[in-house]
Amino acid sequence: MKTSLATSPTVAQFSPLLFAGDLPKALERAAALGYNGVELNLRDSTEIDQDRVLDWARKHNLGLPSIGTGQSYFSDRLSLADLSSYVQGKAQERLRDHILFAARAGALVVLGSIRGQLENSSPAARRAGHDAAVDSTRALAAFAAEHGVRLVVEPINRYETNFLNTVHEALEFLEAVGAENVGLLVDTFHMNIEEASMTLPVLAAGERLWHVHLVDSNRRAVGMGHLDFRPILVALREIGFTGYLSAEILPLPDDEGAAETWMQGILGLCAQA
C-alpha cells in the first residue's frame, strides 16, 4: 500500500489539507518525509498550470493518486444532486475538466462533497435529487471511461451531508449507476461516525474500494485520536487493497508536524503488522 498527503495549490474553505496554498512546498515535504504521492484538492482544474504541476510531481518522484473536487461545491455550490438543470450542467462541466486533468495525471476523480445534498421538502424531491445524481454520475463515468479514468464515491458523515453517509448506501448508489469505472473511497474519520464496525464496511466494499483516507477520530493524524487502525489495515490486506492510504488531515499542530506524525504513525503500524 502506498501513501499520499492531501493538499491544494490554493487556500481552501475545506480545512483538512496540508501545506494548502503552497504546492511546491507540499510536494517537496511529501517527498522528504517518504510519501509516495500527493492528493490534489482542486476547485477548477483549468485554473492551474497543469504542465508545471506534473513536472513538479515527476521531479519529486511522486504520484498524483486522486483529485478531490469538493471545492467546486464549497466555493461554487455545484452539485450533482441539484434539481436545477443549470447547476447540473455546470457541475458536470467542471467534473469533465477534472477528468481530463486526471487522465494526464493518472489520478482518480473523487465524487465527495460535490454530489451535494438531497432536498428534504418531500420524499419526491429527495428521490429526484438521488436520481439526478445517479444519471449525472453515469454520464460522467462514460466520459471518464473514454479517457481511461476511474471515479470514486466517498461516503461522508451525516453532519456534512444527508446523501450517502455509509458504505452500504454508497454501494447501492454504485449499483444504480452501473459503471465498472466507478468505485469507492472510504475515509476512517467519516466511518467512525457512521459505521457500526470499522472493518466490515471495508470487507463489504472489497474490490470496489480504490482509495482510503486514513484519518483519526478527531480528523487529525494517525495516532492523535482513539482509532485502532490495525484491524483496518488487516481488512485492507484481506481484500487485496493496493491503492493509496492518504492523509486528508487537519494541519495540527501545523502542516509539518501533522505530515510527520501521520507518516510516523503509519510506519509504526506497519512495524506491528
Spatial neighbors of 148 by CB under 8 A, at least 6 apart, are 103
Residue 19 is classified by DSSP as S
Which of the residues are catalytic?
154, 248
Please give the full DSSP string across 115-144, using - where no structure is assigned: G-----S-HHHHHHHHHHHHHHHHHHHHHH
Residue 112 and residue 153: Cα distance in Å, rounded? 6
What is the enclosing helix (H) or strand (E) of 212? Answer: strand 209-213
Contact 230, 273 (CB under 8 A): yes
Q: Which of 27, 36, 30 is nearest to 57 (CA)?
A: 27
Cell of 141: 463515468
